A = this chain, B = another copy of it.
Amino acid sequence: MKHLPLFGNHEYTLGILGGGQLGKMLCQAASNWDIKTAVMDKARDFPAAHLCHRFVVGDFSRYEDVYAFGKSVDLLTIEIENINIEALERLESEGVAVHPSPKTLRIVRDKVKQKEFYQEHGLPVTTFRTFENAAEVKRAVDDGSLSLPFVQKSRSEGYDGRGVLIVRTDEDIKNLIDEPCLAEKLVDIAVEIAVIAARNHHGEIRTFPPVAMHFHPEANLVEYLYAPAGLGPAIEQEAIQLAQATIEAFDMTGLLAVEMFLTEDGNILLNEVAPRPHNSGHHTIESCSVSQFSQHILAISGMPLIRPELLSPAVMTNLLGAEDYSGPVQYEGIDQCLQKGNVHIHLYGKKETRPFRKMGHVTVLDRHLPRAIEKAKFVQEHLIVRT
C-alpha cells in the first residue's frame, strides 16, 4: 500500500462506520485536511451526520449495509467494534483498505480470544477461566475451583460498563451475567492507566503519553483521566513498551488504545484494548501536538505519524447523563464552567439523554495538574446534563 493521498483530494473517500462521537471527532480531524468523508449510522441526527460529505443511513450490524457502504469508499475505518465482520472480510478480500483489520476485530471483540492472544504473545494478563453461562460459573464457585473475589466479563458486547461484574459476595453470585464469559482474578489495582499507540503499515509506531484513569464507582465509566499520569519514568516507560508490544502483536494499522492495570505490587497487566480512537485519548485534541483522531487518519492512510507530545497537563472528564433524567437533552452550567478558563467543552450532539449516557466530554488544561483536577471536579458538579 502506497499512502493514500487523501489530503485535499476528493478523488478518495474515507468511510467511517458509526456516526457517534468518535465518528464525529474523526470527521472534525479530517476536515482540517480537507479529506472527503462518508459516514454510515442509523439516523440523520447522529453526531457526525452534519460534519461529513456524505451520510448514509444504515445499520452497521447488517451485512448488506456494511458491504454496500464499504464498496463506495476507498479507505474504511470504524468507531465501534460490533460491525458486521463478514462484510468487512469480504470488502478486504476485494481490495478495500479496512483498518482496523477484520482479523484484529475478531480477536478484540471476544474477550476470551483477546486474552488468549495476549498469552500466546507473552503479554502480561491476569489469569482467567472461561465459562458458557452463569450456572457454570456458579458450579465452579461451589466446587471451590473459583474463589471470590473475581471479575466476570461477557465474552462479547461489553461496552460502557455493560457486561462486567465484580463478584465479591454470595449476593453478587445471584446477579451473575448469564452469557458465555470469563472469570478473572480480581487484582489489587493501584491505578488504571492507558496508552494509545498508533502504527502505520510501514511499521512506524508512535505512542501518546500514558494517562491515569479515575473511574465512576457506579457506572464503571471513566470519570476523569489525567496526563501526565504521575507514575514516574520507569513505570511510564514500561507502559509505553507494553503498548508498543501489543500493537506489534496485532500487526495493526491504525490506533490501538491499550488499557492496563498497575497493581499494588508494581506490575503492569494488560486489561483490554480498543483498535480505534478511545475515550482515554480525548484530551489529546487540546493538550497534545497531535490528536488521537488526526493520528488515526495518518496511520490508516499510510502517512508518516506525528510524535505525540503533551503540551500542557490535562484532565478529561465525561459528561454523563444525570441519573434521574431520560429524554430530550439540555445542559446547565456551561457558562459557569467556561468562566473557569481553559475548559474545553465538547457536546456530542446526541438528542436524548439517559442515565450515564456519554453526552460529551470536557478537557481542562492547566500548567499545574492538581488545579486542572480541581476544575474538572467543578465541571462535574456544575455542568448538568438533564431534560
A235 at interface (Cβ–Cβ under 8 A)? no
Q: Tell me the number of copies of this protein.
A: 2
Q: Is B7 a contact of A347 with CB atoms below 8 Å?
A: yes
Interface check A108, CB cutoff 8 A:
no
> Which of B7, B335, B339, B360 interacts with A331 by CB under 8 Å?
B7
What is the CB-to-nearest-CB distance from A310 to chain B, in angstroms, rounded to a whole number?
11
**Which B-chain residue is minimally distant from A329 (CB atoms)?**
B8
List the one stretch of A29-37, A97-105, A120-128, A145-153 in contact with chain B: A29-37
CB <8 Å contact, A309 and B346: no
Q: Of A48-56, A155-163, A224-232, which stretch is located at the interface?
A: A48-56
The reply on A43 being an interface residue by CB < 8 A is no
Cβ-closest 7 pairs across A and B = A34-B347, A34-B349, A289-B342, A8-B347, A304-B339, A8-B331, A50-B53
Render A288-315 as a binary contact track against B, CB cut-off 8 A, 1 for contact: 0110000000100001101101011000
Min Cβ gap A283→B in Å is: 13
Number of A residues, CB within 8 Å of B: 45
Query: Contact: B311 with A9, CB < 8 Å?
Result: no
Q: Other than A34-B348, A290-B342, A304-B335, give 7 A-B pairs with Cβ distance below 8 A.
A: A8-B329, A31-B51, A32-B347, A33-B345, A34-B347, A303-B334, A311-B365
Could you list 8 A-B pairs, sorted by A, with CB under 8 Å? A8-B347, A31-B349, A32-B344, A33-B345, A50-B51, A50-B52, A306-B341, A309-B341
A3 on interface, CB distance cutoff 8 Å: yes
Q: For the complex, is A330 an interface residue (Cβ under 8 Å from B)?
A: yes
